[in-house]
Structure 1
Amino acid sequence: MMQNGQNTALRNDWSLEEIEAIYNRPVLELIVEAATVHKQYQATGEVQVCTLLSVKTGGCTEDCAYCPQAARYHTGVDVHKLMPQQEVLSAAQRAKKGGSTRFCMGAAWREVRDNRDFDKVLDMVKGVNELGLEVCCTLGMVNEYQAEKLKEAGLYAYNHNLDTSEENYASIITTRTYDDRLNTIDNVRKAGISVCSGGIIGLGETDEDRIKMLHTLSTMVQHPESVPVNALVPVKGTPLEHQPLVSVWEMVRMIATARILMPKSMVRLSAGRERMSVTEQALCFLAGANSIFTGEKLLTTPNPDFDTDKSMFELLGLNPRKSFKEEKQLVCS
């Protein structure tokens, strides 16, 4: 892929056949190529540290088969209304002190509604932004007007995962469509907000579904700035509670392929990291992952805490990426 030491051209015209060929390479060859692309486009040894806080938990009307926050499943998740702003800002300050440079707020909503809760979220966005953190939200579907309001409040990034391939989507979620997902991403992009969009493996999908999801992401007019790769954390009470856990090699294959297809994107090693050893996580970093969530929970599922990750960073010689790095580079250049 590399010629004369030059960066591979960024592409948005990948074919399914090309992606399939990359994805199915012998895993060690795939890691080497991904590591080479990563070194050409990214600062190796630099990892974006993010914290995700559930600011409104449970009671969601959606039927996402993997999600313990869906009201229709009995998962033991307590329903909590929107957190007070001061509690959110205190959590953001703790995250910053722990080394996070991006703070993401998640609300278990199907879609954003123009009401007092949305106004409160806008105030939270302003407050976290003032702390010098990249502020991200994942609130469900948003329209163009709502995306613009979030941008005005200082929102840096918006997460809206595709979850799986378009063909497999209806077997995981029936309460919205794949086009609904894509429309929200378009609305976020139009508002000038950084896009965070990836998926989940281990839902019962095929390799073909994984390849098709990567195809959708890598052929967007502009690649998502952040691409989370999640491994399903099966939760008792959800339809997917008995799904087998994915292997580290499946995660490595997804991360490496995403890195080759979308060289400038942050590729985030997300859900499922809590049960991975430092050695397994190191393989993922070698394959091109350069972003993680840290803190004891990812919304409602377990996650390594700040001290555990700090020890791992020291062992592997990793450094946290600074907030707003892209913007600071543009100003300096």
Structure 2
Amino acid sequence: MTTDWRLLAQQVMEGYEVTEEEALSIIQAPDEEMLDILQAAFLIRQKYYGKKVKLNMIINTKSGLCPEDCGYCSQSIVSEAPIDKYAWLTKEKIVEGARESVQRKAGTYCIVASGRRPTSKEIDHVISAVEEIRETTDLKICCCLGFLNEEHAKKLADAGVHRYNHNLNTSEQNYENICSTHTYDDRVDTVVNAKNSGMSPCSGAIFGMGESDLEAVHIAKSLRELDADSIPCNFLIPIDGTPLEGRTDLNPRKCLKLLAMMRFVNPSKEIRISGGREVNLRSLQVMGLYAANSIFVGDYLTTIGQEPTADWGMIEDLGFEIEECAL
């Protein structure tokens, strides 16, 4: 029996929480129903975000040299991927990146650093840059610096950091297959610390790391329970030299259904198509915006994104509108 996806979307917009079984049925629906699912997901997206698209830009302020063994990551201690490795960028470089973010029409600037957790000195370094950025732009600032204790979370919040990102990455059941140097609960604790400090919690997933469809649903449900305001949906890039090299669990249609599922489970939240968008969605990436309302523009941490002009054109061709910030 075919599900009435529009009816389910209407129920969601009226406050209904989709069940685990309904969320799973979105991912496992036949490809022939994909357009109906995306249309239904768009009804929910339109209710909360209209046709606006939020752009985010990342700066990798510290690359590689990480003691964690996350299997997907080219910056981890177990990775043999040939990437640039460097310690912290200067304050001037971080501020310069913010101006580049504005030029790319991004409203959120994401300051990211590899490593397990920041030191107090590193927190102060970031805060120094954040203070200058806030004096000269209207950018929203997101930080992603690793595990965060309550003291550091409060310092970042007091300095005007709007959002803190720390992804759950995969389901609790699948986590031990991805990383052994920390736990799923460690990640949850950091999201909670960020939220309790007053920063907006940003947390998402990386799909395509061997999780089952049901585990993908568990990720979405866990993010709902955490009340994450912003949910990055990454799709694995199986980078050569990492433990997950060679994995090909995804195709563009599966990615679109995963985005739609995330919208149904977290209807009012910012859903962002993140790392792996160009590689996994390929020619269908524009269709992801019927479910998601946000993308990264430009390059990622150690992988290349498409040109910002291509993203702008993609959004314009769809009849959507970029939500910009100004200097």
TM-score, normalized by the shorter chain, greater than 0.5: yes
Could you tell me whether the CA contact under 8 Å between 1:274 and 1:302 is conserved in 2?
no
Work out the CA distance in 2 between the residues paired with 1:193 and 1:209.
28
* 1:327 corresponds to: none
* 1:123 corresponds to: 128
TM-superposed deviation, 1:15 = 4.2
- When residues 251 and 85 of structure 1 are mapped into structure 2, their CA distance, relative to the original with a 3 A threshold, is same
Which letter does structure 2 place at the counterpart of 1:77? I
Out of 136, 143, 147, the residue aligned to residue 153 of structure 2 is 147
**Percent identical residues:** 32
Does 1:294 find its partner at 2:301? no
How many residues of Structure 1 are paired with residues of Structure 2 in the alignment?
317
* 1:183 corresponds to: 189
Equivalent residues in 2 for 1:177-256, closer than 5 Å: 177-220=183-226, 223-244=227-248, 246-256=250-260
- When residues 63 and 10 of structure 1 are mapped into structure 2, their CA distance, relative to the original with a 3 A threshold, is farther
Equivalent residues in 2 for 1:150-169, closer than 5 Å: 150-169=156-175
Could you tell me whether the CA contact under 8 Å between 2:12 and 2:264 is conserved in 1?
no
Could you tell me whether the CA contact under 8 Å between 1:53 and 1:105 is conserved in 2?
yes
Which letter does structure 1 place at the counterpart of 2:287? L
- When residues 277 and 214 of structure 1 are mapped into structure 2, their CA distance, relative to the original with a 3 A threshold, is closer
TM-superposed deviation, 1:316 = 2.2
* 2:74 corresponds to: 68
TM-superposed deviation, 1:2 = 5.9
Which letter does structure 1 place at the counterpart of 2:134? N
* 1:318 corresponds to: 320
- When residues 10 and 52 of structure 1 are mapped into structure 2, their CA distance, relative to the original with a 3 A threshold, is farther
User: Would you identify which runs of 4 or more consecutive aligned residues in structure 1 move more than 4 Å?
Assistant: 276-279
* Paired residue secondary structure (1:55): strand
Runs of 5+ unmatched residues, structure 2: 1-5
Could you tell me whether the CA contact under 8 Å between 1:197 and 1:226 is conserved in 2?
yes
TM-superposed deviation, 1:303 = 0.7
Which letter does structure 2 place at the counterpart of 1:254? L
TM-superposed deviation, 1:212 = 1.1
Work out the CA distance in 2 between the residues paired with 1:20 and 1:169.
20
Which letter does structure 2 place at the counterpart of 1:268? R
Deviates more, 1:188-197 or 1:301-310: 301-310
* 1:42 corresponds to: 49
Work out the CA distance in 2 between the residues paired with 1:33 and 1:250.
16
Work out the CA distance in 1 between the residues paired with 2:245 and 2:73.
10
- Cα distance per residue 1:110-139 (max 9 Å; x no partner): 11222x222101112222223210000111
Could you tell me whether the CA contact under 8 Å between 1:2 and 1:8 is conserved in 2?
no
Could you tell me whether the CA contact under 8 Å between 2:202 and 2:228 is conserved in 1?
yes
* Paired residue secondary structure (1:302): coil
Work out the CA distance in 1 between the residues paired with 2:15 and 2:304.
35
Could you tell me whether the CA contact under 8 Å between 1:10 and 1:262 is conserved in 2?
no
TM-superposed deviation, 1:228 = 0.8
Work out the CA distance in 2 between the residues paired with 1:48 and 1:299.
19
Out of 213, 234, 258, the residue aligned to residue 262 of structure 2 is 258
* Paired residue secondary structure (2:73): coil
* 1:97 corresponds to: 103
* 2:37 corresponds to: 30
TM-superposed deviation, 1:322 = 3.8
Could you tell me whether the CA contact under 8 Å between 1:168 and 1:209 is conserved in 2?
yes
Work out the CA distance in 2 between the residues paired with 1:247 and 1:28.
16
TM-superposed deviation, 1:14 = 5.3
Work out the CA distance in 2 between the residues paired with 1:70 and 1:205.
20
Work out the CA distance in 2 between the residues paired with 1:270 and 1:75.
21
Which letter does structure 1 place at the counterpart of 2:41? A
Which letter does structure 1 place at the counterpart of 2:243? P
TM-superposed deviation, 1:7 = 7.3
Q: Normalized against structure 2, the TM-score is what?
A: 0.90
TM-superposed deviation, 1:319 = 1.6
Which letter does structure 1 place at the counterpart of 2:261? T
